[in-house]
Structure 1
Amino acid sequence: MSAVAYNLVSVSSLALYRRYRPESFAEVIGQEHVTGPLQQALRNNRVNHAYLFSGPRGCGKTTSARILARCLNCEQGPTPTPCGECESCKDLARNGPGSIDVIEIDAASHGGVDDARDLREKAFFGPARSRYKIYIIDEAHMVTPAGFNALLKVVEEPPEHLKFIFATTEPEKVIGTIRSRTHHYPFRLVPPGTLRDYLGEVCGQEAIPVEEGVLPLVVRSGAGSVRDSMSVMDQLLAGASDAGVTYAMATSLLGYTDSSLLDSVVEAFATGDGAAAFEVVDRIIEGGNDPRRFVADLLERLRDLVILAAVPDAADKGLIDAPADVIERMQAQAGVFGAAELSRAADLVNEGLTEMRGATSPRLQLELICARVMLPAAYGDERSVMARLDRIERGVNFSPGGGAQGAAHGAPAMPTMGYVPGPGAHAGAPLPGGAPIPPGGGAAAARAAVRGPGPGQGPVPGQAPDRSAAPGPRRLGRSPGSGSGSRPGARARRVRAPLRRPRPPHALAEHPGGGQEPPSLHLDPAQPERPCGGLRRHDPPTRLRQRRCP
């Protein structure tokens, strides 16, 4: 194999993030708050002896450390723009062999006190060919406290030729005595718009066509990390066909939900069509999709709808990252919902996503989420009331069989639950004993139905009762017709009925037929409660049964 062919094979076998690793601060994207001050410090020749680069993974910490070492050891430097022609710049280039004076140490495997002592002994030797001897300690949070203490003296007072660059994702784990002796530069995640443009340039250099909706999916999968996004893009480019990377391929390979399913379930929520919503759930399960992923994608869609409802030009302002056709559909969907209804649906989906973690039946949880979103009347909180008001203003029918199908078939609305029978609805209905219920309904009819017929004949409507028939208090448990030898019940032997007290004339109500209402059994009104005496009653047995206050 020739040398040219070998170089082509070796370059093509490199990962995408290694092939496009930046070689200068100008090529680093999304970290201007770090690269700008570092370049200015190099121009002013105010370079510190120790630096601490912190931030999420894949945002350029180690790459920036290599670029800083390249700028310091360039023959034209120290300079913010390395020449790329000298021996040091070639050694530290993207595909260079590396420099003997720039030592990278993985603290995850070399973070003990013995490693720190070995580094301290070698650090005092001068550089072999370069201006500075630079130690890049990656994953610095993995260094043990004893190892940091062993490095403390050399980091605090290093020789003129020695520089330290610590890179870590957890700066709080670096002991304060080391952190206070460094210049700390925090790195951040790259914004989605910047990352999408960068990925588009990479795909253009690779000469592989990519559909419009693929790049937002890659950016979302990378979550702001350049290395993660480049790895995902490398995977898609490796499996691309002659037509390039299609949206369907990216959706299935990355595990995201197809936008058509999201459109279907959102439209079902808007119209209250339960059949359509649960049909989408069945399609998700039958298609082998993860219900949790679907709920996460649905929450992302509802978030976009909430923003579009509040800011109609959110796409132009960069608040939403989606293709033009998807944004057009979402604008139509946001116009159907009310603001309170969208907020409530997003809250319910967010709560359901939390409940789905560790759930034994994700499908059941997904179906419950759909049912809760479409039934605001089942909850009495403020957001559900506002969601119902939004639906009333839209005029959506939510009767049984409602929604899109119910409206098409003319499903009748639910009857009003405020029906009250009129006075003559049950007039003349006989009692079980044969006595008729007084006509006119009302309280008299209710009392007659509860009291039932007496031993002879029930009270005649419109006629005042005979008070002589009740000479005194009547005991419970012995019916008028029972024999003298019959034993009364246990409750009848202990409890005596309260006295029948006559009511004042002005309190007697008249029956609809013209008679007066018969007196009913009433307890004596309770006296005010005393601090230590309980309640005072006229009836001694009743008083004994009252509960005393503590």
Structure 2
Amino acid sequence: MVTALYRRYRPETFAELIGQAQVTAPLMTALRTDRVNHAYLFSGPRGCGKTTSARILARCLNCAEGPTDTPCGVCPSCVELSRDGSGSLDVVEIDAASHNGVDDARDLRERAIFAPARDRYKIFILDEAHMVTPQGFNALLKIVEEPPAHVKFIFATTEPDKVIGTIRSRTHHYPFRLVPPAQMLEYLEQLCSSEKVEVAPGVLSLVVRSGGGSVRDSLSLLDQLIAGSEGGKVEYDRAAALLGFTHAALLDEVVDAFAAKNSAQVFASVDKVIQTGQDPRRFVEDLLEHLRDLIVILSVGDEAKSVLRGIPADELEKMKTQALGFGLAELTHAAETVNAALTEMSGATSPKLHLELMCAKVLVPSSDQTEVGSLARIERLERRIGVGSGDAASPAASVATVQASTQNATPVTRIGSEKPAGVSAPKAEKITEVSAPAGIGGVTLTQFKDSWPNILTLVNKKSKAAWMVAFALSVVDFAGDVLTLKFMSQKDLDSFKNASGASEVLRGAIMDVLGVQVKFKAQIDAKPEDAPAPAAPAEPAPVKADTKPMAVVEEVEPQDQAPAQEVAAAPEPKSAPEQKSRNSGMADESARYGESLLREMLGAEPMQDKNGK
């Protein structure tokens, strides 16, 4: 016959009590300074140490060397009140759940009159005090208010609000709390070492989660796992099945399928959950917990080990890979969708239906019209074209992608140089290599691309006019403090220059989001029919037939040149200056707004008529 763990390891001093420093410290101080009250009320969740603390307080008060904050453990009173003791005549522990009437209160009042048999005080511990009826409390009221000098009362309850106010006001109230997961995990590890039991990685985390901060519940679960283990080792599979948690392999399978947008695999995993008889709500809870861990890993980085305690290092590396396959916005969208489904599944008649609908919403972010859903769609598009946050873990891979995409790039000329673009095209150098981006303060090209949606959102909040000319821009390169932006046409570049303060708003948004001060360089994706005919070159130019000429416009630093000359204009054919009326600015603004809506919502580009207008 083996004694239960929670009885064998019941604390005998306040120093052994874990997670309740807010109670033990003032109680020990009161004992040291001999300012002990005649009545105490201990409240808190079950299994957090209320009754144990009442027994420890009784030992401290009746110790031969006391009152003291640390009982000696050798005197008759300490021995009788120890975890293996038989109990003391002067310490009466009453179960108030079964002794809650007026007659029981009168009997207690009569017993309190007599002096203690041997010890210093006669101590009454009323466990589950909230079960006492109001009439019973009223019968105790007088003796609790003015007890004899040798009587002490300790009430322990999980529901202090049910204790009548006249009793509460005559006691010192100490609220107990659930034990934090970190302290509980460390305590369970020490206990397993004392018991010489080997526990597989991840098992104690399941025990802590299932115990919910209650020490007694956690020890009971661990005792059950140890009793059912073979060879002195607690296996993860058996622990997950016994405690009702979803196996980590199934969670990894579902999360990987979400990241790969593999609908068949997702719904196959859902069917596996149903066929194995697992509770769908428990599966959704475990999935939400796993997504929360991925968000923490993606947000904190290498410091996640200090937040996610109890997870092995190899499991953390695998979860880091899973997190990089999503992106923060898409992970947030998935977590919010799962959380909403978990709320809707409460009392649902068909939890499987809610589970499948939840999976469909996670797979299709377009169904979410909120800002988080929009950011999730943007992240998915960025990863699809190779500039998403999924490449953030390997900058070399992103550089290689850029190199591959620029091997077939067209010759780049710098507008505003000494020779026109058409003449200098044969001598232009091709972009054949892109070095690893190294921005100011550690900001990289990948970070710029990942933060670009947030930058545009901030621009939209600051200036609608600036956003209308900036939302179609895309980041091409970032080296030193120069940010290269791609314009779809010369008209977009002119709009960017002519818009009042657009460049300053964009520069300020970049400073707010990334904390860097940049200079702009413009790269224009010119149409073949719009480009000027190049002069006959002296030697063949290395230009492929199916490429499109591009133009690059540099911007100088704001302090070196006036703001009006921030982006140098490309040379245009000489023409008579067009006379604009006062309302032409408003017309251009409306045209730009309509054009921006067409481009953003429909992905369309304006066509030119036959006259070139």
Match of 1:83 in 2: 72
RMSD of equivalent CA atoms: 1.5
Match of 1:33 in 2: 22
| Matched position secondary structure for 1:346 | helix
The letter of the residue matching 2:321 is: A
The letter of the residue matching 2:205 is: P
Tell me, yes or no, if the aligned pair for 1:193 and 1:318 is still in contact at 8 Å.
Answer: no
Aligned counterparts of 1:55 and 1:319: Cα–Cα separation in 2: 26
Q: Please tell me whether residue 344 in structure 1 is matched to residue 333 in structure 2.
A: yes
The letter of the residue matching 2:63 is: C
Shift of 1:154: 0.8
1:283 aligned to 263, 272, 291, which one? 272
Match of 2:13 in 1: 24
1:379 aligned to 368, 386, 391, which one? 368
- Structure 1 residues 355, 86: closer, same or farther in 2, change over 3 A? same
Please list the CA deviations of residues 236-272 of structure 1 after superposition, one character each: whole Å capped at 9, or x if unmatched.
Answer: 0101101510111111111111111111111111121
Aligned counterparts of 2:125 and 2:33: Cα–Cα separation in 1: 23
Tell me, yes or no, if the aligned pair for 2:106 and 2:139 is still in contact at 8 Å.
Answer: yes
1:177 aligned to 156, 160, 166, which one? 166
Superposed, which structure 2 residues align to 1:224-303 within 5 Å? 224-242=213-231, 244-303=233-292
Shift of 1:227: 0.2
**Identity percentage over the alignment?**
65
| Matched position secondary structure for 2:307 | coil
Match of 1:216 in 2: 205
| Matched position secondary structure for 1:51 | strand
Match of 2:461 in 1: none
Aligned counterparts of 1:175 and 1:341: Cα–Cα separation in 2: 51
Shift of 1:296: 0.8
Tell me, yes or no, if the aligned pair for 1:307 and 1:314 is still in contact at 8 Å.
Answer: no
Please list the CA deviations of residues 74-124 of structure 1 after superposition, one character each: whole Å capped at 9, or x if unmatched.
Answer: 111111111111111111010110001101111111111221111111111
Structure of higher CA gyration radius: 1
Match of 2:156 in 1: 167
Please list the CA deviations of residues 176-205 of structure 1 after superposition, one character each: whole Å capped at 9, or x if unmatched.
Answer: 111111111111111111111111121122
The letter of the residue matching 2:112 is: A
Superposed, which structure 2 residues align to 1:491-502 within 5 Å? none
| Matched position secondary structure for 1:312 | helix
Tell me, yes or no, if the aligned pair for 1:264 and 1:280 is still in contact at 8 Å.
Answer: yes
1:364 aligned to 332, 349, 353, which one? 353
Please list the CA deviations of residues 468-518 of structure 1 after superposition, one character each: whole Å capped at 9, or x if unmatched.
Answer: xxxxxxxxxxxxxxxxxxxxxxxxxxxxxxxxxxxxxxxxxxxxxxxxxxx
**Which 4+ runs in 1 deviate beyond 6 A?**
none
Match of 1:94 in 2: 83
- Structure 1 residues 320, 350: closer, same or farther in 2, change over 3 A? farther
2:319 aligned to 319, 330, 351, which one? 330
| Matched position secondary structure for 1:315 | helix
Match of 1:53 in 2: 42
Aligned counterparts of 1:285 and 1:105: Cα–Cα separation in 2: 47
Superposed, which structure 2 residues align to 1:436-515 within 5 Å? none
Aligned counterparts of 1:310 and 1:184: Cα–Cα separation in 2: 40
Match of 1:492 in 2: none
Higher mean C-alpha displacement, 291-300 vs 322-331: 322-331
Match of 2:106 in 1: 117
Shift of 1:45: 0.7
Aligned counterparts of 1:40 and 1:65: Cα–Cα separation in 2: 16
* Structure with higher strand content: 2
Tell me, yes or no, if the aligned pair for 1:53 and 1:61 is still in contact at 8 Å.
Answer: yes
The letter of the residue matching 1:72 is: L
Match of 2:378 in 1: 389
Tell me, yes or no, if the aligned pair for 1:348 and 1:369 is still in contact at 8 Å.
Answer: yes
Shift of 1:165: 0.5
Tell me, yes or no, if the aligned pair for 1:271 and 1:396 is still in contact at 8 Å.
Answer: no
Tell me, yes or no, if the aligned pair for 1:314 and 1:320 is still in contact at 8 Å.
Answer: no
Shift of 1:381: 2.4
The letter of the residue matching 2:92 is: I
Shift of 1:321: 4.2
* Structure 1: 5+ residue stretches without partners: 1-8, 398-550
Match of 2:125 in 1: 136
Tell me, yes or no, if the aligned pair for 2:42 and 2:154 is still in contact at 8 Å.
Answer: yes
Aligned counterparts of 2:302 and 2:181: Cα–Cα separation in 1: 18
Aligned counterparts of 1:195 and 1:220: Cα–Cα separation in 2: 10
Aligned counterparts of 1:396 and 1:143: Cα–Cα separation in 2: 69
Aligned counterparts of 1:261 and 1:92: Cα–Cα separation in 2: 49
| Matched position secondary structure for 1:164 | strand
* Structure 2: 5+ residue stretches without partners: 387-613
Tell me, yes or no, if the aligned pair for 1:376 and 1:388 is still in contact at 8 Å.
Answer: yes
Tell me, yes or no, if the aligned pair for 1:134 and 1:162 is still in contact at 8 Å.
Answer: yes
Higher mean C-alpha displacement, 230-239 vs 359-368: 359-368
Tell me, yes or no, if the aligned pair for 2:185 and 2:310 is still in contact at 8 Å.
Answer: no
Aligned residues: 386
Match of 1:196 in 2: 185
Aligned counterparts of 1:318 and 1:356: Cα–Cα separation in 2: 29
The letter of the residue matching 1:18 is: R
Match of 1:66 in 2: 55
| Matched position secondary structure for 2:301 | coil
Aligned counterparts of 1:193 and 1:139: Cα–Cα separation in 2: 28
Shift of 1:305: 1.4
Aligned counterparts of 1:320 and 1:305: Cα–Cα separation in 2: 14
Tell me, yes or no, if the aligned pair for 2:204 and 2:310 is still in contact at 8 Å.
Answer: no
Aligned counterparts of 1:319 and 1:185: Cα–Cα separation in 2: 31
Aligned counterparts of 1:396 and 1:224: Cα–Cα separation in 2: 46
Match of 1:505 in 2: none
The letter of the residue matching 1:360 is: T
Q: Please tell me whether residue 355 in structure 1 is matched to residue 327 in structure 2.
A: no
| Matched position secondary structure for 1:52 | strand
TM-score by length of 1: 0.68
Aligned counterparts of 1:246 and 1:279: Cα–Cα separation in 2: 26
Please list the CA deviations of residues 143-198 of structure 1 after superposition, one character each: whole Å capped at 9, or x if unmatched.
Answer: 11111111111111111000000111111111111111111111111111111111
| Matched position secondary structure for 1:230 | helix
Superposed, which structure 2 residues align to 1:415-426 within 5 Å? none
